[in-house]
Amino acid sequence: MMISVVQKPFHSVNCNGKLVDLNQPKIMGILNLTPDSFSDGGEFFDEKSALKQVEKMISEGADFIDIGGQSTRPNAEFISAKIEIERIGNLISKTKKEFPEILLSLDTFYSEVVEFGFNEGIDLVNDISAGNYDSQLLATVGKLKLPYVLMHNHSEYSKMHEKIEHQDLVLTLNYFFSEKILELQSYGITDYILDPGFGFGKTAEQQFQLIDELEYLNFALNPLLIGISRKSFIYKSLNKSPLEINEETQKLHLKCLEKGAKILRVHDVAEARKTIEIFSK
């Protein structure tokens, strides 16, 4: 009798010629260069404190640093590409000079900022808009041959936090990712990571359900990035502040890893590293 063996897909991403194996989960440390992010706004707004935070996250085990100049919390100020670039300044090139082995992700939905970041040395584009807020973004990412994080979200910036009625949330996301992956491929984007978009257009109940059913998302064909760090669906359900939910967040991180997550996007790198070590054992 023949026994069929189902092989798990090999997940990796090509960052500027460096093949990054995602079968061993990775950590993406968050660096907000904003005065108004929901839990750390203004803490790393100047270059000196930002570089110090980069060094701290690397020492704690971060594999990627995700640099962003625009807050996407509810009611945040909308800023232009020009201001994003001003906020980022020389941080990308200085980080690459001081920490050449670290992989840098740029959190933006502007093609102009992607071009700037590429010239400064980024390895990855993390876009909350799925290419919907700037018509040139996907073409720019494809032209520059950068890996791309595709996140599920509203197609309009002004509606990104409006709750959507979903009869079957996982089915909705699978349709969304299937269509968008074809679009990415049409622009020559061949390395992509999927992000379910926790905190965007989904109720708390839907987001907990999404964690429970994560293994059905894209059926593990592409690597998943999970960004639940300090998200309101966790801390509001517990009647706590964003800084008081580390234990509960790590339990959810572990559950996500068990269900196939490959990258954890986090504020607390050291705690996430402990969670990955537990999962690996």
Element (H, E) at 251: helix 246-258
Closest CA to 157 of 122, 117, 129: 129
73 has catalytic annotation = no
231 has catalytic annotation = yes
CA distances from 63 to 53, 57, 58, 232 (A): 14, 9, 7, 25
Of these residues, 87, 230, 262, 265, which one is catalytic? 265
CA distances from 99 to 10, 78, 93, 153, 204 (A): 28, 31, 10, 32, 38
Tally Cβ neighbours within 10 Å of residue 186. Answer: 11
Contact assessment for residue 27 and residue 269, using Cβ atoms and an 8 Å cutoff:
yes
CA-CA distance, 223 to 203, in Å (whole number)? 24
Of these residues, 202, 230, 231, 262, which one is catalytic? 231
Active-site residues, by number, are: 231, 265
